[in-house]
Amino acid sequence: MKKRPYWLIGVVAAVIFLLVLFWPRNVVDDSTGTESSSDIKAEYDAAVKEQQQIVMPKKDSLDIIDDLYKKDKITEEQYLMLSIQASYDHDNLDPKYKGERPKRYDNSYLLRHLRLKFDTLSPDAQDALRPFILMPDDPGSYWYFGQKKMSILERLSIVPGVTAMDNPTKTGDKYTVTNNFGDAFNGKAALMKTALDEAYEKYRLLGMKEPKDWVAVYIHDLSASGDMGEEMFGMSNGTSRCVILIDKKNEGNVLKSVVAHELFHCFQEYIPLKSYTNEKWMWESTAVWAEEFVYPTHDTEHVYADYMFSTLGSDLLDDSQGRDYSSYLWWFYVYQKDGKTGTAVKTALDDAGSKGMKQALKDRKGIYDEIKEYALWNLNNDPFRYYSDAGKFPDKQPLMDTNLLVGDDQKTVNVNMGAGGMIYNHYFLHSSIDKIKFDLSTTNKNIDPGIGVQIVYRIGKTWFYEDVSDREELVFCRTRPPEKVDEIYLIVSNSDLDSSINTDFRIDTSGKCKPEWSGFTMYQWDHSFSKSVSDQVISKEQSAFASFSDRGYMISRDTLIYDDEADRFILKDQRITYRYETSTSVDYGRGCSFIWERDSSSTWGSDFIKYDDEDSAPIRMVVSKDDPLAYDVREHALKDPKNFLNYKSYAGWYKVPCDPFDGMQSGPPILYEQKDQSMVSGYGEGFNHDITANMSSDGKRISGSGTGMRVIDDLNIPVDIVVDYYYG
């Protein structure tokens, strides 16, 4: 690994690869705010109305047939026959297998399954299905231009088309493009060639194995199936090659994205995946992601967002109801987390090729935290929007249970989610609630190591986040302004990819809180900048660019005990949430040699700590020497932060070998990555500050704010600090 250039620490930018995770929003808003019951009811009604607009996708005929096959209710041969008919002759499909008419992007995975299992089929089935594995220039092929599409299950003879094929246009040694529709489609053929060039180069530079032979690409009429494109291996004279069919109705950016999608399938063929008969999720979800990878401003991948946001509670690897396509969202998340280099997706595909799709995901470092974080990202609601897109990311929210909670009530909430699934509960709190307690004793990480529990809540205009996965209960005393919660999202996730979870938690709004001091101290910082470093790069690329970022926050929600002898406040207990991220990057803006370098690290965690010994409990505030109604705020370090803090780092570079004479690429790309995930022993740098909080005239509130400083090498990073405690 090359050492980080010495100047990187001083070169700082808004790092496009640093994730804006878990940041509390509007934290400087001093208004605890109070909302009337009518305001809360109006917000609740609006949220319910929004949820009513979410439509769950219905199962189509292919879903029904897939389900029967997975349950061994039909044979593999029956599965292939029925699936082909459902796709290309739906009107004549037996009614007992009928659902919604399939509206798939393509049937590439089905056609691959057919090709791989063709030799095991009965002679009658082979006769019926052979037209679907022949090259489009074979008169016996279903795909032959001008072919009359007849029912394969009736085994009618295939009548050769009478329209001669134009001579295909060879594009280098990589692919041919054939246009059978005359001069009117020459523009589309040219656009397809452009897309093939652009996508092929992106996949090659990503380090994917290239197709061994040229790819045959056709403009085609796919109206019978409604597919946008198809990819398959066509058979011809005992040999086969990758074939792409692009429906003639596709236009503009959609046309280019469909080409990128289907070409990615060709590259997938050469990994190859561990199994092509039960890993459709991996096959299609990564191909939809490839549309974003090649054309980040087209936004064609987001057409599947509705399917995903309405089915997040299902198994992560569920491939029904369009989830094989809509699960591109998982790879969109992984891609962004990886700094949008694409290497994480490529590595996942390679791993799936060697050990299978599910095992590849289970072996990912930190999969528990990834799925939990993915669940938070998918809340996708202001102010918790984390997805960044060169185009426009969809304004979608998960399907969730929305309720208006009232005082003096108790309820049990069922938590039923698939393997790798996540569920969302949304609550508005009526003014009649003095105290709300969430009993999580049967829904926490200690009960089931796969469970993650996160809470996002609003007090007045300020939003807060806590990871409460290890907690058995969560309590808010709404009679205290710093805890007067108006709105709550409770997110439960399951990182176990083998087993579903069916449990519950309980909500109690009948209690009252005893008067005591409580509130929070919050630290938040965000420092980043960038500049050109062309003058510091030997080859003097004008586009060489470096960036650095350091950001984080720590929130401690405390219950305090007043020590009247020393006129100070000590901690009785605290709920603490911490996150710190730093990143450096260099992009050299060149076609070969070193392309980029990255370094990043994250430290994060949440915990609840109770201090039983007042003599050794940390001091939060002590009376000021200058003013008896003011208190100096103390910073303290936890005794054993390693018990709850996690650490993850990444270092890597990407290099394309150069010929020393002509400066052109001279070998396959090289990716070096070093990843680490381990526990850490402390917070790192502290917060140097001199903050004083003032007591209100009625003696029931102590609050203040100011700026501290983090010192890293020669950088002084400002830290915003807010303190707010209340007696009640």
Stretch 68-92: mean pLDDT: 89
This prediction has a pTM of: 0.81
pLDDT at 228: 94
- Domain housing 636: 8-21+516-727
Residues 555 and 471 placed together within one structural domain of the fold: no
Confidence of residue 283 (pLDDT cuts 50, 70, 90): very high
In a domain, 413, yes or no: yes
Is the pLDDT reported for residue 710 higher than 70? yes
Kindly report, residue by residue over 371-412, the tens digit of the pLDDT. Answer: 999 999 999 988 888 898 988 999 999 999 999 999 999 999
Give the integer Cα–Cα distance in Å for 445 and 453: 8
Strand order in the sheet with 501-508: 410-417, 501-508, 435-439, 473-477
Q: Which residue has the higher pLDDT, 17 or 519?
A: 519
In a domain, 295, yes or no: no
* Average pLDDT of the chain, as a whole number: 83
Report the range of poorest mean pLDDT among 332-336, 429-433, 590-594, 694-698.
590-594
Residues 425 and 472 placed together within one structural domain of the fold: yes
Residues 630 and 716 placed together within one structural domain of the fold: yes
The HSE-up count of residue 137 (CA atoms within 13 Å, CB side) is: 18
Is the pLDDT reported for residue 1 higher than 80? no
* CB contact at 8 A, 228 and 72: no
Within 10 Å of residue 310's Cβ, how many Cβ atoms?
20
- Percent of the chain clearing pLDDT 70 (strictly above): 85
pLDDT at 282: 94
* Domain boundary pick from 454, 486, 508: 508
In a domain, 351, yes or no: no
Q: Which pair of tokens denotes residue 69?
A: 């096959």
Residues 453 and 521 placed together within one structural domain of the fold: no
Confidence of residue 115 (pLDDT cuts 50, 70, 90): confident
Is the pLDDT reported for residue 34 higher than 70? no
Report the range of poorest mean pLDDT among 17-21, 157-161, 273-277, 638-642.
157-161
Stretch 515-529: mean pLDDT: 88
Residues 685 and 576 placed together within one structural domain of the fold: yes
CATH of residue 45: 2.60.120
Q: What is the DSSP string of 605-672?
A: EEEEEE---TTTSPEEEEE-SS-TTEEEEPP---S-GGGT-EEEEEEEEEEE-B-TTT--B-S--EEE
For helices 280-294 and 186-205, what crossing angle results, to 10°? 100
pLDDT at 553: 85
In a domain, 151, yes or no: no
Stretch 475-498: mean pLDDT: 94
Q: 């004279």: which residue's tokens? A: 237
Q: What is the DSSP string of 123-149?
A: HHHHHHHGGGTB-TTSTTSTTSTT---
Stretch 196-220: mean pLDDT: 90
Number of domains in the chain: 2
Kindly report, residue by residue over 121-180, the tens digit of the pLDDT. Answer: 999 889 889 889 888 888 888 888 765 544 333 432 222 222 223 344 444 568 889 998
pLDDT at 151: 39
Query: Which residue(s) pair with 707 in the sheet?
Result: 720
Residues 458 and 580 placed together within one structural domain of the fold: no
Give the integer Cα–Cα distance in Å for 64 and 71: 11
pLDDT at 481: 85
Is the pLDDT reported for residue 541 higher than 80? no
Nearest to 276 by CA among 67, 77, 115: 115
Residues 498 and 535 placed together within one structural domain of the fold: no
Q: Which pair of tokens denotes residue 95?
A: 């009614």
CA 712 to chain centre: 31
Residues 447 and 524 placed together within one structural domain of the fold: no
pLDDT at 41: 85
In a domain, 203, yes or no: no
Residues 465 and 563 placed together within one structural domain of the fold: no
pLDDT at 92: 87
In a domain, 631, yes or no: yes
Q: Which residue has the higher pLDDT, 158 or 727?
A: 727
Q: Which residue has the higher pLDDT, 652 or 43?
A: 43
Stretch 304-325: mean pLDDT: 92
How do beta strands 410-417 and 501-508 pair? antiparallel
Give the integer Cα–Cα distance in Å for 614 and 187: 79
Kindly report, residue by residue over 234-265, the tens digit of the pLDDT. Answer: 776 667 789 999 999 999 999 999 999 999 99
pLDDT at 676: 67
In a domain, 127, yes or no: no
Residues 463 and 600 placed together within one structural domain of the fold: no
Residues 702 and 680 placed together within one structural domain of the fold: yes
* CB contact at 8 A, 129 and 84: yes
Kindly report, residue by residue over 327-380, the tens digit of the pLDDT. Answer: 999 999 999 988 888 989 999 999 999 999 999 999 998 899 999 999 999 999
In a domain, 690, yes or no: yes
Give the integer Cα–Cα distance in Å for 374 and 479: 34
* Domain boundary pick from 444, 479, 508: 508
Residues 551 and 444 placed together within one structural domain of the fold: no
Q: 């009513």: which residue's tokens? A: 52
Rank 136-145, 246-255, 594-603, 613-622 by mean pLDDT and report only the highest: 246-255
Kindly report, residue by residue over 454-486, the tens digit of the pLDDT. Answer: 999 999 888 888 999 989 999 999 998 889 999
Kindly report, residue by residue over 422-456, the tens digit of the pLDDT. Answer: 999 999 999 999 999 999 999 999 999 999 999 99
Give the integer Cα–Cα distance in Å for 214 and 82: 32
**b/e string for 374-387 if b means 16 or more Cβ within 10 A?**
bbbbbbbbeebebe
* Domain boundary pick from 508, 529, 554: 508
Give the integer Cα–Cα distance in Å for 711 and 718: 9
